[in-house]
Structure 1
Amino acid sequence: MKAANNNQKTAGEKKPPGRVVFSTAYIENICGPIMHTSNNDVQGLTKSATQKSNRLIVARDENESMLTVDQARDLFVLKDGVLINRVMRGRRAMPGEPAGSPDGHGYLCLKVDNVKYRVHRVVWLLSYGNWPTGQIDHVNGVRDDNRIENLRVVSVQENQRNSHRRVDNTSGVTGVCKDHGGWRARIKVNGKRINLGFFKSFDAAVAARKQGESDFGFHPNHGATDEARRNGLKSLRAPQAMRSA
């Protein structure tokens, strides 16, 4: 008797499916015409990405127009930078409890009629009677410290000049890095990187960086870690504005 051929198919065995390739006509019949991306399309996407910040500002302004100061006062009581619910706004928003929960960036957020607001902007609204016209900077850098003296209206550039130290920083000082046996000091102003010099000692490079921050109007808290900000950096009073009530 001959040995069975290992390659011989057994009765009822199904052949494994191969790669299925659908024709363009079939795909277009099911899904509609296929869109091909040209160089102009790519340029359009790039341009769209650069306008993302402006779109976010427009969306924020549209959302904020839905909540008036009178409505906010009916919903919340402000006490030492904490919003307290006046009424039940949901199962997790009971009267007498603090309003808001942290988002992925550490800012407290809440919802009114399913529209999301950042708590610090609502605090500004309740304090001054109008929405802030620009970005809000937490002066001491603690993003859930929403006392009104810790909030100030700033431009995008000003906000970037009071930033936390990056988590990937290896020298311990923003803008200072090891370079060919010495230390390099740099600073970024209005999107342009400026070289502050090469130094043999770390302390000299740090001094150059701090001088650059002072010359270009950076906040004294710029480059501090979140831990350092929470463990003793004091709030600096924001410029006073006329309150409506």
Structure 2
Amino acid sequence: MTESKLSGKGLISPAPQNPSCESVARKDIEQLLTADQARELFKVQDGKLVNLVRRGSRAMPGMFAGSPNSDGYLRVKINNVAFRVHRVIWLITYGEWPEGQIDHINGVRDDNRIENLRAVSVVGNQQNQHMRVDNTSGTTGVRLESGAWTAKIRVRGKRLHLGRFKSLEEAAAARKSAELLYGFHPNHGRTDSERRNGAKSFGTHSIMRSA
């Protein structure tokens, strides 16, 4: 059985003292792991990382790697440095780290199949968000205010007022038209249950790879 002592075999550079995704910039962390190193440690199978070598008593060859974080994303620790699983899968698949953020197209944060991942800017990621749990209208950006249904949308940090309407249907239509105009993903505004029930639907946008 193969066992990897990562820093000892040169598969990854020594980690900084007390490393964490919160205290060290993401790019600084990702410089510690190359595509070749990642491919020595894992293979990708159906959107999951599978250990190729023994990385400890709880990380044996053939076992899935990664555990859920409090934000719903999967993380894997390599030499005591935490990496997000979806970004490692991107690295192994394309041979490079994504330049920007990774958007889970169907909104399911632990669905790391490569066809469900796309590299996007911060703005692009914000345009494929789930509906807030405190939404009461059933449409993102629409609410009842002073007896009228109002529709709003936030584009590149600026909130735009789309109008006041007599009916919820009119306000929802205005909001959906604005989402189409400003390039929001078709999955934007779906509830978590809708996203999970339709987890195999990736919408009409193409999968994008960073340059």
Q: TM-score range by the shorter chain?
A: 0.7 to 0.9
Whose relative contact order is higher, 1 or 2, with alpha carbons under 8 Å and at least 6 apart? 2
Residues of 1 paired with 2:167 and 2:210: CA distance? Answer: 45
Indicate the residue corresponding to 2:11 in structure 1.
Answer: none
Indicate the residue corresponding to 1:235 in structure 2.
Answer: 202
Contact 2:105 2:118 in 1 (8 A): yes
Contact 1:110 1:118 in 2 (8 A): yes
Alignment CA distance shift 1:73-1:189 (3 Å): same
Residues of 1 paired with 2:46 and 2:57: CA distance? Answer: 24
Matches within 5 A, 1:124-203: 124-203=90-169
Deviations 1:188-215 (A, max 9, x none): 1111111000001000000000001111
Residues of 1 paired with 2:103 and 2:30: CA distance? Answer: 18
- What TM-score does the superposition give when structure 2 sets the normalisation length? 0.84
Q: Which runs of 5+ in 2 are unaligned?
A: 1-20
Q: Offset at 1:58?
A: 7.0
Q: Offset at 1:241?
A: 7.2
Indicate the residue corresponding to 1:86 in structure 2.
Answer: 52
Alignment CA distance shift 1:140-1:57 (3 Å): farther
Identity of aligned residues (%): 60
Contact 1:187 1:195 in 2 (8 A): yes
Indicate the residue corresponding to 1:118 in structure 2.
Answer: 84
Residues of 2 paired with 1:240 and 1:116: CA distance? Answer: 23
Alignment CA distance shift 1:127-1:57 (3 Å): farther
Where does structure 1 differ by over 4 angstroms across 4 or more consecutive aligned residues?
55-58
Corresponding residue pairs, total: 188
Residues of 1 paired with 2:26 and 2:210: CA distance? Answer: 22
Q: Which runs of 5+ in 1 are unaligned?
A: 1-54
Deviations 1:36-80 (A, max 9, x none): xxxxxxxxxxxxxxxxxxx97971111111111111111101112
Residues of 2 paired with 1:144 and 1:185: CA distance? Answer: 31
Residues of 1 paired with 2:49 and 2:161: CA distance? Answer: 44
Contact 2:149 2:165 in 1 (8 A): yes
The structure having more radius of gyration, on CA atoms, is 1
Contact 2:49 2:89 in 1 (8 A): yes
- What TM-score does the superposition give when structure 1 sets the normalisation length? 0.73
Q: Offset at 1:235?
A: 2.2
Indicate the residue corresponding to 1:98 in structure 2.
Answer: 64
Question: Which secondary structure does the structure 2 equivalent of 1:204 belong to?
Answer: helix
Contact 2:98 2:209 in 1 (8 A): no
Residues of 2 paired with 1:211 and 1:92: CA distance? Answer: 50
Question: Which secondary structure does the structure 1 equivalent of 2:134 belong to?
Answer: coil
Deviations 1:146-172 (A, max 9, x none): 111111110001100001111111212
Q: Offset at 1:92?
A: 2.4
Of 181, 184, 187, 1:221 maps to 187
Question: Which secondary structure does the structure 1 equivalent of 2:169 belong to?
Answer: helix
- Return the structure number with greater helix share: 1
